[in-house]
Chain A
Amino acid sequence: MSLTPDDIARIANLARLELHPDESERMLTQINGFFGIVEAMRAVDTTGVEPLAHPVAVIQDVALRLRADVASEPNQREANQRSAPAVERGLFLVPKVIE
């Protein structure tokens, strides 16, 4: 299986990445090269095997913990917005989305 230039364009759009034509071309070659080594993985029989997300779950139950639903953080709006590219009156600014 090989990806086509159209696939690259579709994935780049999903990933919200603008790619220049030469970049797309390079990406296509490199990603297809990578999927060459992925074929070995696809051929493995995994019938009946459960996917593993938290590795320690191999030997014991791992329950992903939930925090009590209480406000624990103080208001730090200014500190949190200090590195934002565009802020006005405590709000993040984005280009106009609704006409």
Chain B
Amino acid sequence: MHSASKPLHDLGVAELAASLRAGQVSAVEAAQHFLGRARSHESLGAFLAIDEEVTMNQARAADARLAAGTAGPLEGVPLAHKDIFVTKDLPSTAGSRMLEGYRSPFDATVVRKLADAGVVTLGKLNCDEFAMGSSNENSAYQPACNPWDLSRVPGGSSGGSAVAVAARLAPAATGTDTGGSIRQPASFCGITGIKPTYGRASRYGMIAFASSLDQAGPMARSAEDCALLLSNLCGPDPDRDSTSLDLPTEDFARSLNDSIDGLRIGIPKEFFGEGLSADVRTAVEGVLGEFEKMGARLVPISLPRTELSIPVYYIIAPAEASSNLSRFDGVKFGHRAKAFADLVDMYKKTRAEGFGDEVKRRIMIGTYVLSHGYYDAYYLQAQKIRRMIADDFQQAFKSCDLIAGPVAPTVAWKLGGHGNDPLADYLADIFTLPASLAGLPGMSVPAGFGDGAMPVGLQLIGNYFTESRLLNAAHRLQQATDFHSRKPEGV
């Protein structure tokens, strides 16, 4: 029935939703097509779970609603979820052995909201264990490969999500961003991703890593598609998430086409220092030039505590993680060690067997900085500097409307490239951590290619609640460039 000129997997979310509404393609056809691609690209390591029966049942229900005229705005559009969101009908592992075979009794709010909008779930996507990592190599199940160069990492922690979208195994995916986990893999895989203001998306059913930082968001190929998805996954969740903001649902696509003539784009000098590799700088400066051609003005600004955001983040996030992950005790759900001497020994062996190296390291750091005698010197001190970092942004936004810079200092590195050096991973997060600590919305937008013909992402950071302005700037850039529609060879 599908007769459009492009293959189905080259259609974006908006185009696919329109084709479904117009009856040019059915939800069953779309689901079958993408499931087939997921099967034939299994070696990329994008998916952790697929259940064709679950997907096809959802697709048939979507077709019925399309026929009955009760379709939601995204009716029949296939999408896959990062395996950090719990789902009733599919396993939920958070990329950890600890949750192997775990079945949630409920769906995460983000999953439910997208299902209410008509989305059909293709499966669960690979990620770093409990979202801790920036290369997807901390997945307990399998690494994922970057479709632009199979010997490189896709980034993380939402690595599987970025791979699935870049390789056209799904038109879009959900991700979560604690310190850059949507923006960095989007950048490494040449796709578009947005983390909204902290509190916009419900954290209910997102397996918790660092509760004061975790935020969900969409990953797709274009800003337009991200806007559509974001409008459908945000919204207050007063009974389920105490940190969810009481803000009405918004149409984030409303100002996509607005002119950006006169837009003031802040350029933080700390994002363009020695640590930035030359190829990334060239690509980022190239798209900044595109913005100038459209009438935007580049304004020099300073975010003086950019470097400090590394220790601050890596104190706060592990502290919260050590507390959140105390629930994995081998009693109520998840793994339990086979042999042990007593209750405490059961806890210790269960956790030793169930958690991977990076998770253990962060639990250790977090436990230490929260322990008696160290709390003030580390955790409290970090939270105070967190406020100073957030204040720096407010100062900067006095002279600009949004902030732009690189997402990461380099393009995607080789699998195993950071060896067994966790610090190398932490330091590479430098440009995404400040906005995370401040709870600001941030995006990654394809900005061209660097060394090894690998994608480079431009980071856009907005003030609180200005997602539609970020999406507007990104959309205008995507009207002027075609980086977001390029695809890896062989895909």
Do B330 and A37 have beta carbons less than 8 Å apart? no
Which residues of A (37-56) have their CB < 8 Å from a CB of B? 37-38, 40-42, 44, 46, 49-56
Q: Given the interface contacts A16-B351, A27-B360, A27-B361, does A92 sit within 8 Å of B332 by beta carbon?
A: yes
**A93→B286 CA distance, assembly (Å):** 61
Q: Given the interface contacts A19-B352, A58-B394, does A34 sit within 8 Å of B387 by beta carbon?
A: no
Do B197 and A56 have beta carbons less than 8 Å apart? yes
Do B212 and A53 have beta carbons less than 8 Å apart? yes
**A30→B422 CA distance, assembly (Å):** 8
Q: Given the interface contacts A30-B422, A56-B198, A92-B331, does A11 sit within 8 Å of B385 by beta carbon?
A: no
Q: Given the interface contacts A44-B381, A51-B380, does A82 sit within 8 Å of B331 by beta carbon?
A: no
Do A55 and B212 have beta carbons less than 8 Å apart? yes
Do A85 and B329 have beta carbons less than 8 Å apart? no
Do B423 and A34 have beta carbons less than 8 Å apart? yes
In the assembled complex, how far is the CB of residue B386 from the closest CB belonging to chain A, in whole angstroms?
5
Do B361 and A83 have beta carbons less than 8 Å apart? no
Chain A positions near chain B (C-beta within 8 angstroms): 3, 7-8, 11-12, 14-19, 23, 27, 30-31, 33-34, 37-38, 40-42, 44, 46, 49-56, 58-59, 62, 64-67, 72, 76, 79-80, 82-86, 92, 94-97
Main secondary structure of the interface of B (DSSP, over half): helix
Q: Which residues of A contact B351 (CB under 8 A)?
A: 15-18
Do B384 and A46 have beta carbons less than 8 Å apart? yes
**A94→B344 CA distance, assembly (Å):** 10
B238 close to chain A: CB less than 8 A: yes
Main secondary structure of the interface of A (DSSP, over half): loop
10 sample A-B contacts, Cβ–Cβ < 8 Å, listed by A number: A3-B368, A11-B368, A15-B322, A15-B363, A15-B364, A37-B310, A41-B381, A52-B390, A54-B198, A55-B198
Which among B330, B340, B390 is the interface contact of A58 at CB below 8 angstroms?
B390
Do A83 and B103 have beta carbons less than 8 Å apart? yes
Q: Most B CB atoms within 10 A — which of A17, A46, A62?
A: A17
Do A17 and B331 have beta carbons less than 8 Å apart? no
**A22→B199 CA distance, assembly (Å):** 41
B168 close to chain A: CB less than 8 A: no
Q: Given the interface contacts A58-B387, A58-B394, does A11 sit within 8 Å of B364 by beta carbon?
A: yes
**A33→B311 CA distance, assembly (Å):** 12
In the assembled complex, how far is the CB of residue B244 from the closest CB belonging to chain A, in whole angstroms?
8
Q: Which residues of B contact A92 (CB under 8 A)?
A: 331-332
The total of chain B residues at the interface (CB under 8 A) is 74
Which residues of B (394-426) have their CB < 8 Å from a CB of A? 394, 422-423, 426
**A62→B243 CA distance, assembly (Å):** 8
Do A46 and B381 have beta carbons less than 8 Å apart? yes
B308 close to chain A: CB less than 8 A: yes
Closest 8 CB pairs of A and B: A55-B439, A51-B383, A85-B336, A79-B105, A52-B387, A46-B384, A18-B348, A18-B352
Do B103 and A40 have beta carbons less than 8 Å apart? no
Q: Given the interface contacts A18-B351, A40-B307, does A85 sit within 8 Å of B394 by beta carbon?
A: no
Do B315 and A38 have beta carbons less than 8 Å apart? yes
Which residues of B (365-401) have their CB < 8 Å from a CB of A? 365, 367-368, 371, 377-378, 380-388, 390-391, 394
Q: Which residue of B lies closest to A48 (CB)?
A: B384
Do B199 and A56 have beta carbons less than 8 Å apart? yes
Q: Which residue of A lies closest to B436 (CB)?
A: A55
Do B348 and A17 have beta carbons less than 8 Å apart? yes
Q: Which residues of B contact A53 (CB under 8 A)?
A: 212, 383
Do A59 and B394 have beta carbons less than 8 Å apart? yes
B141 close to chain A: CB less than 8 A: no
Q: Which residues of B contact A31 (CB under 8 A)?
A: 361, 364-365, 368
In the assembled complex, how far is the CB of residue A59 from the closest CB belonging to chain B, in whole angstroms?
6
Q: Which residues of A contact B332 (CB under 8 A)?
A: 84, 92
Q: Which residues of A contact B312 (CB under 8 A)?
A: 41
Q: Which residues of A contact B344 (CB under 8 A)?
A: 16
Binary flags per residue of B320-361, CB closer than 8 Å to A gives 1, else 0: 001000100111111110001011111111011001000011
